[in-house]
Amino acid sequence: MKTIKITNQSEWDKLPDSFKEETEIIITGEIYEITHKDMALFCVCEKAKIQRVRDSATIQSVWGSATIQRVGDSATIQSVRGSATIQRVGGNANIKIYSSSASIKKAIQECVIICQDCNPKIPEDAPNVIRTKNALHDIKSFTSFYDDLVKGKTMTLYKSVNPDTECDFYTGKICYKDGATIKPTTFDPDPKRECGDGLHLSPTPEMALSYNTGKIKVCEVAIKDIVVHKHNITKVRCAKVKVIGDYKP
């Protein structure tokens, strides 16, 4: 994964509108406006301050004592943690909160606020508040949910690769040629870790394309070689995969 740190609006505006690989954008300074940048994950950290999030932009995580002034226009914030503050939520915005110390000052129109196993400070007149338990995944729940992909001790998973080289987008060195058995140079079996040190595949072609837009490869993976992160099952980390061939809808 490529990481870009942003400290001001000028640096944000100079970013491309799309990325060829999964890109993590970490915002640490004060920015006036965030608009959509394709194929990126946005993290607003610590004491960062954002004035406005709009145009279907997606922010993956807001934490620490970060402040966002306004969220609207179908923007999505995947995770709000710590004592982060959001001043106003409107439009068709969708916000998921994981911390009771987080707060939202105003919520209007048709926004949706999802409280994941927590009781944050939100307005009593917020239009759509969903309170739910935080699902914690593991290999058992993952294989149970996608039982149609399980065949004995193996599972079918999908990988989006560069259509020109059939290699991964991140390093460009791991090639998913038909019939090949692939191992990463390093592998971390710790389920607390979401990214890095392994081969990352998804349970559906659509989820694979959400990380990189390319050619979809069908792969077979032994269940014992799969690590599931408890908060994200759109991709899993694998110790070894066998490439079956191109995905044909």
Q: One digit per residue, pLDDT tens: the chain, 249 residues?
A: 678 899 999 999 999 988 877 788 889 999 999 988 887 778 888 789 999 998 888 888 898 899 999 999 999 998 898 899 999 999 999 999 989 999 999 999 899 999 988 999 999 999 999 998 877 889 999 999 999 999 999 999 999 999 999 999 888 899 999 999 999 988 988 888 877 789 999 999 988 887 778 899 999 999 999 999 887 888 999 999 999 999 987
Tokens 């922010």 sit at which residue?
Answer: 59
Is the pTM for the entire model greater than 0.85? no
**Closest by Cα among 187, 146, 162, 142 to 22:** 162
The C-alpha angle with vertex 196 and arms to 191 and 197, in degrees rounded to 5, equals 85
